[in-house]
Structure 1
Amino acid sequence: MANFSKSNVPQFSVEVYQNSYLPEAGSEVNAIVTVTSTGGGTSGGTPLAARDRAQGDAPDAAVAIMVDCSGSMDYPPTKMRNARDATAAAIDTVRDGVAFAVIAGTHQAREIYPGNGRLAVAGSSTRTQAKEALRKLSAGGGTAIGTWLRLADRLLASADVSIRHGIVLTDGRNEHESPEDLRAALEACAGRFTCDARGVGTDWEVKEVSGIASALLGSVDIVADPSGLAADFTQMMEAAMGKEVADVSLRLWTPQGAEVAFVKQVAPTVEALTDRRTEAGPRAGDYPTGSWGDESRDYHVCVRVPAAGIGQEMLAARVSLVLPQPDGSPPQTLAQGLVRAVWTDDMAASTSINPQVAHYTGQAELAQVIQQGLDARKSGDRDGATAKLGRAVQLASASGNADTAKLLAKVVDVVDAATGTVRLKAKVAEADEMTLETRSTKTVRVKK
Structure 2
Amino acid sequence: MPSLSKSNVPRFSVDVYHNEYLPEGGGEVNAVVTVTATGEGTSGGRPLDGGASAGVVLMVDCSGSMEYPPAKMRNAREATAAAIDTLRDGVAFAVVAGSHEAREVYPADGGLAMAGPETRAQARRALRRLTSGGGTAIGTWLRLADRLLSASGVSIRHGILLTDGRNEHESPEDLRQALADCAGRLTCDARGVGTDWEVAELTQIASALLGSVDIVADPSGLAADFRSMMADAMGKEVADVALRLWTPQGSEIAFVKQVAPVLEDLSARRAQAGPRAGDYPTGSWGDESRDYHVCVRVPPAAVGQEMLAARVSLVLPRPDGTVETLGQGLVRAVWTDDMAASTRISPQVAHYTGQAELAQAIQQGLEARRAGDQDGATAKLGRAVQLASASGNEDTARLLARVVDVVDAASGTVRLKQRVADADEMTLNTRSTKTVRVKK
Could you tell me the TM-score, scaled by structure 2's length? 0.98
* Alpha-carbon distance, 1:64 to partner: 0.3
Which residue, out of 396, 407, 421, partners 1:415? 407
* Alpha-carbon distance, 1:145 to partner: 0.2
Is residue 266 from structure 1 mapped to residue 276 from structure 2 by the alignment? no
* Alpha-carbon distance, 1:213 to partner: 0.5
* Alpha-carbon distance, 1:368 to partner: 1.0
Aligned to 2:235: 242
* Distance (Å, rounded) in 2 between the aligned partners of 1:140 and 1:392: 41
Poorly superposed stretches of 4+, deviation over 4 Å: 40-43, 55-59
1:16-46 C-alpha deviation (Å, 9 max, x unpaired): 0001010111111000000000026989xxx
* Distance (Å, rounded) in 1 between the aligned partners of 2:50 and 2:189: 25
Aligned to 2:274: 281
Letter in 1 for 2:12: F
* Distance (Å, rounded) in 1 between the aligned partners of 2:234 and 2:40: 11
CA RMSD for the aligned pairs?
1.6
Letter in 1 for 2:426: M
8 Å Cα contact 1:41/1:242 also seen in 2: no
Aligned to 1:375: 367
8 Å Cα contact 2:37/2:289 also seen in 1: yes
* Alpha-carbon distance, 1:328 to partner: 1.3
* Distance (Å, rounded) in 1 between the aligned partners of 2:189 and 2:147: 17
Letter in 1 for 2:303: I
Aligned to 1:24: 24
Aligned to 1:65: 58
Is residue 134 from structure 1 mapped to residue 134 from structure 2 by the alignment? no
* Alpha-carbon distance, 1:202 to partner: 0.3
Letter in 1 for 2:417: K
Which residue, out of 297, 303, 312, partners 2:305? 312
Q: Name stretches of at least 5 consecutive residues in structure 1 with no aligned partner.
A: none
Which residue, out of 379, 392, 398, partners 2:384? 392
Structure 2 residue matching 1:243: 3-state secondary structure: coil
* Alpha-carbon distance, 1:369 to partner: 1.0
Aligned to 2:416: 424
Aligned to 2:348: 356
8 Å Cα contact 1:11/1:37 also seen in 2: yes
* Distance (Å, rounded) in 1 between the aligned partners of 2:42 and 2:197: 35
Letter in 1 for 2:229: M
Letter in 2 for 1:360: Y
Aligned to 1:182: 175
Alignment of 1:21-420 (within 5 A): 21-39=21-39, 48=44, 59-329=52-322, 331-420=323-412
* Distance (Å, rounded) in 2 between the aligned partners of 1:159 and 1:285: 29
1:163-195 C-alpha deviation (Å, 9 max, x unpaired): 000000000000000000000000000000000
Structure 2 residue matching 1:269: 3-state secondary structure: coil
* Distance (Å, rounded) in 2 between the aligned partners of 1:251 and 1:102: 35
8 Å Cα contact 1:264/1:274 also seen in 2: yes
8 Å Cα contact 1:23/1:344 also seen in 2: yes
8 Å Cα contact 2:238/2:285 also seen in 1: yes
Letter in 2 for 1:12: F
* Distance (Å, rounded) in 2 between the aligned partners of 1:435 and 1:155: 32
Structure 2 residue matching 1:7: 3-state secondary structure: helix
The number of residue pairs the alignment matches comes to: 440
* Alpha-carbon distance, 1:56 to partner: 12
* Distance (Å, rounded) in 1 between the aligned partners of 2:40 and 2:278: 26
Could you tell me the TM-score, scaled by structure 1's length? 0.96
Q: Name stretches of at least 5 consecutive residues in structure 2 with no aligned partner.
A: none
* Distance (Å, rounded) in 2 between the aligned partners of 1:65 and 1:156: 11
* Alpha-carbon distance, 1:58 to partner: 5.6
* Distance (Å, rounded) in 2 between the aligned partners of 1:5 and 1:431: 46
Structure 1 residue matching 2:425: 3-state secondary structure: helix
